[in-house]
Amino acid sequence: MKVILSRKGFDSVNGGIVSPILEDGTMISFPIPSNDSSSYNDLKYNGILYSKILSDLHYKGGQFCHVDPDLDQGRISKEIDGWEPAFGQIDSSATYLKNIGIKEGDLFLFFGNFHHVSYANGSFKYIKKSGDFYKDNDLQVIWGYLQVGKVIDNPMEQKSFWWHPHSNEKRIENKTNLIFTASKNLSFDPSKPGAGLLSYDKKRVLTLENGNKATWIKKEIYDTDHILSKRKNSAKDPSRGIYYAGIWQELGLMESDACSLWAKLMIL
């Protein structure tokens, strides 16, 4: 089983704020702004529209968004007939996934930028001065997963996923466009679905304590010698942390028992 760390959700360029970790541990990964047809008014958490939460957190961007990966129909205000979890990729990121041999049974772990929030007087607010590093600072955290059921590169088949943004005509016309469906259940734990959202747990935090959000805890499974690409560790202290600079979305990890065990721990 190949593991791919996939960066998704708001960042400083796309959205301008970080996604919230709610007091009950729920992580809401805000889908990035786009020209797609879905809007933040179409998405909800526990009956609260994403547009309301975004407003509370001082989001200043547009109202339409790219709902991808689409892992949870429960957040969508209108029920979608035939919906199933799916993730799309295109251009250089899709080419990278093809080149590393992405296939059925491989596992995406989705991570993004998050910050703990409090809720009081009808409003959400970022926590800043609790004295706890993990509550006061932006973090990169694993928030969802998808084990690949099928890799769809056929444009006609992609059209059948009409609710997914990678089924629109513009993307289908791009020969690199891919849609990944989820397996029905996890191969290593059939009691769990093949895709889903994860709650906050410190074990899912990639960020090195007392470091900036993009500097990760140093682990062999995703260091420079165990990734499926050539990258430099640009961390200020490379003996303690790992920082892969630049704008990138997908990071394939070399297959090993240690990597598989770590990935399972992130989910189970």
Q: For the chain, how are helix, strand and coil distributed in percent, rounded to 5?
A: 20, 30, 50
**Confidence at 209, pLDDT banded by 50, 70, 90:** very high
Tell me the average pLDDT across 62-67: 96
Q: Percent of the chain at pLDDT above 70?
A: 100
Tell me the average pLDDT across 71-77: 82
pLDDT tens across 25-58, in order?
999 999 999 999 999 999 999 999 999 999 999 9
**Confidence at 221, pLDDT banded by 50, 70, 90:** very high
Entry pTM: 0.97
pLDDT at 124 over 80: yes
3-state secondary structure of 252: strand
**Confidence at 151, pLDDT banded by 50, 70, 90:** very high
Find how far residue 240's CA is from the centre of its chain: 25
**Confidence at 10, pLDDT banded by 50, 70, 90:** very high
Tokens of 140: 């990169």
**Which of 251, 267, 249 minimizes the C-alpha distance to 8?**
249
Find how far residue 228's CA is from the centre of its chain: 19
CA dihedral 126, 45, 94, 99 (to 10 degrees): 80
Tokens of 264: 């399972």
